[in-house]
């Protein structure tokens, strides 16, 4: 029999997620024109900096363009752990989200980097739980870290990719995973 405290916690988190999510109609409200503006991407690399890191998303197929997003050290560490398939003794926040979705029979359909407003990127996680399709607003770094753990596809709005003249080389290795990550920050534009 499951621990009643864990069941209560999971039900509470699920309720919070479902009540704060966009309803099914808005998740399905994406027009086919909007869907055509998306490109599937993969995490190409992460380059560390003193203040934070840059995650480079590379377009799959298409023109192979790159989308650089500045992220916090904690999120960079979490993404690097997921890319390297390294397990840590205690779950971090992204592991917790994955575990909750698994326990609630939720399925992440995809993550979408949607827009750039005032030099800050926005994303959403589209998933199904209890037969309902829901969409949750998220920072791109958190959404990417969750998607990598669940092996969900990543997409980005094509308008966000940098042009060849603005391209930042994405051939840098993954950063070391620090034991004490820096405070969280917003996901920002590099350019």
How far CA 73 is from CA of 99, 138, 187, in Å, comes to 22, 17, 11
Tell me how many domains the chain contains. 1
Of the chain, the end-to-end C-alpha distance in Å amounts to 53
Q: Which residue has the higher pLDDT, 166 or 49?
A: 49
Instruction: Check: CB of residue 55 under 8 Å from CB of residue 174.
Output: no
**Which residue has tokens 């980005």?**
156
What domain range is 90 assigned to?
4-189
Per-residue pLDDT reduced to its tens digit, 22-58: 444 444 444 444 677 899 999 999 998 666 799 999 9
pLDDT of 163: 58
Pairwise CA distance, residues 71 & 67, whole Å: 12
CATH of the domain at 54: 3.10.690.10
Is the model's pLDDT at 70 over the cut of 90? Answer: yes
pLDDT tens column, 95-121 = 999 999 889 889 999 999 999 999 999
CA distance 76 to 73: 5
CB 116 within 8 A of CB 106: no
Q: pLDDT tens, 117-133? A: 999 999 999 999 888 99
């Amino acid at each position: 029999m499951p621990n009643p405290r864990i069941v209560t916690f999971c039900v509470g988190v699920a309720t919070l997620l479902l009540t704060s999510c966009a309803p099914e109609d808005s998740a399905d409200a994406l027009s086919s024109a909007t869907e055509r503006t998306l490109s599937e991407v993969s995490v190409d690399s992460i380059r560390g900096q003193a203040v934070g890191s840059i995650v480079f998303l590379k377009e799959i197929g298409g023109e192979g363009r790159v989308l650089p997003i500045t992220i916090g050290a904690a999120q960079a560490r979490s993404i690097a752990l997921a890319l390297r398939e390294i397990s840590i003794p205690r779950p971090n926040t992204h592991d917790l989200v994955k575990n909750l979705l698994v326990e609630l029979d939720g399925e992440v359909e995809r993550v979408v980097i949607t827009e750039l407003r005032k030099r800050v990127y926005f994303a959403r996680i589209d998933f199904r739980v209890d037969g309902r399709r829901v969409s949750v607003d998220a920072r791109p770094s958190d959404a990417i870290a969750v998607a990598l753990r669940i092996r969900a596809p990543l997409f980005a709005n094509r308008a966000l990719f940098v042009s060849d003249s603005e391209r930042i080389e994405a051939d840098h290795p993954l950063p070391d995973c620090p034991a004490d990550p820096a405070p969280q920050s917003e996901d920002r534009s590099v350019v």
